[in-house]
Structures are given as C-alpha cells and as structure tokens.
Amino acid sequence: MKSMSVRDFQLDTACPDTRLLVEHVTSKWGVLVLLTLDDQTMRWSELKRAIVGVSEKMLIQTLQTLEADGLVRRDAHPVVPPHVEYSLTNDGREAAALLAPLVFWAQQHVSATPA
Amino acid sequence: MKSMSVRDFQLDTACPDTRLLVEHVTSKWGVLVLLTLDDQTMRWSELKRAIVGVSEKMLIQTLQTLEADGLVRRDAHPVVPPHVEYSLTNDGREAAALLAPLVFWAQQHVSATPA
C-alpha cells in the first residue's frame, strides 16, 4: 500500500472547527478512550481501569467532549444502581481506525530510538 | 483499501514513551508544523506566517520538541544575518503521512455536522 502524501489531501489547516476536532481526537486521553472503546462497549469503571493513569475528572471530561462531537455513545440504563455504558459511534470507529496506525508508528519509533 | 481495525495493531497504550511521542506529534501546533513542513523546507518566518495563529513562543517550543524527537531537522547556515531552515526528517515525513488522513477526516466530519 502506497501511503498518501500530505499534498494528496485538500487540507485547510487554518479552519478553527477542524483544528478543534483534531484536538479532541488527538488529546492525550481522547486517543486512549477511542482506542480502548474500539470494538467494545464498556462501563465507566471498566474504562477507568483500562486507561492507566487517567483521573476521574479527565475521564468524565474526555467522554463528554467526545460524546458532544458525536464520536462516543453513552447509554444509561434506567436500573438501580444506574448502569451506564460507553461505546463508539460509526464516526468514532473511523477516528479510532485512523489513530491506531499513528500510535503504532509512535510505538515503533520509540523502541527504535536510543533513550 | 480496507482500513485496519485497532485490534490489528499490537498497541501498548500504557507505555509512557509512546504516549509522550503521540502527544508531541498530535499537539495542536505539532500537527500543523508537521503538515506544513511536509515536502518543503521553510525559514522560521515563513513557517510563522503559514501557521495561522501560532505565537512565537509556541512555534519555537514546538520546533524544539519535534527536533528533539528526531522529526524536524534544523539547518543553521553560518551567514550574516543568520539563515535558519526547517524541514522534516524521514521519520517526520512518516508522521505527517499518518496525520494527514486524520485531519482530512476531521475536516469532512466538521463540514458534515450541523453547527
């Protein structure tokens, strides 16, 4: 597969809305939430455990931001105690599929670079 | 082209070094520096003009971080007045090629979403 160069895309890197969405998707915790939720539905406590190092505050904030962007779906089941599940929307899965090669590249790059 | 799912990668999303490199590459200004320098060498003042809204401080800091990561090359020509040029290394071009589809996706997503 030949990778595309930046010139193959019509990118408007000055567009504020595009910048903001890129910031949400590529934020430290945004990346990890999207990759962790790919292909699975998780409860809040499972997500919290799976994403090593995230604080409650940052996880709540990141989930709310990604939900507002239409990338994460929040399902609250009306039971006692409350049962809330998170999953990716179709758009969220698209974002995760684009992020994964980037994180994989970083992983390879880090292990190839002398500390 | 079939896109790969997250599960096709062996991702260790807990690795601090990988997280840090992903943060640098996907930082607000990091994304824009990498995409702007793709395929071209630019002087500092040209970069500053091309990246709408970046402050001197953030541009300097971003270039230093990406240079330390081995993604940006800084060439200082010993002339008067000083002539400093920035370009991407091979690794930097790899990162830019992975970022471009993500930014393109964000652009499409933003224009498809009602404000």
Q: Domains plus CATH for chain B?
A: 13-112 (1.10.10.10)
Work out the minimum CA distance from B92 to partner chain A, whole angstroms.
Answer: 11
Tell me: the pLDDT tens digits for B7-61?
Answer: 677 788 888 888 889 889 888 899 999 999 998 999 999 999 999 899 999 999 9
Tell me: the pLDDT tens digits for A53-87?
Answer: 999 999 999 999 999 999 999 999 888 888 899 99
- Is residue B1 over pLDDT 50? no
Tell me: the pLDDT tens digits for B54-105?
Answer: 999 999 999 999 999 999 999 998 888 888 999 999 999 999 999 999 999 9
pTM of the shown model: 0.86
- Is residue B3 over pLDDT 60? no
Work out the minimum CA distance from B69 to partner chain A, whole angstroms.
Answer: 9
Neighbouring residues of B3: CB distance < 8 A, sequence distance ≥ 6: A97, A98
Compare all CA atoms of chain A with the CA of B115 and give the residue at the minimum distance: A17
Mean pLDDT of chain A: 88
- Is residue A30 over pLDDT 90? yes
Work out the minimum CA distance from A76 to partner chain B, whole angstroms.
Answer: 24
- Is residue B114 over pLDDT 60? no
Please give the distance of CA A4 from its chain centroid, rounded to a whole number: 23
Dihedral sign for Cα atoms in the order A47, A50, A56, A61 = negative
**Three-state secondary structure call for residue B87:** strand
Number of H helices, E strands in chain B: 5, 3
The predicted complex's ipTM stands at 0.84
Residues from chain B that touch A97, judged by Cβ atoms under 8 A, are 3-6
Q: How far apart are CA A87 and CA A104, in angstroms?
A: 22
**pLDDT value for A1:** 43
Inter-chain residue contact B11 with A104, CB threshold 8 Å: yes
* Residue B9 CB burial class (10 angstroms; 0-12, 13-18, ≥19): middle
What type of residue sits at position A13?
A: T
Q: How far apart are CA B99 and CA B106, in angstroms?
A: 11
Question: Packing angle between helix B16-26 and helix A16-26, nearest 10 degrees?
Answer: 180
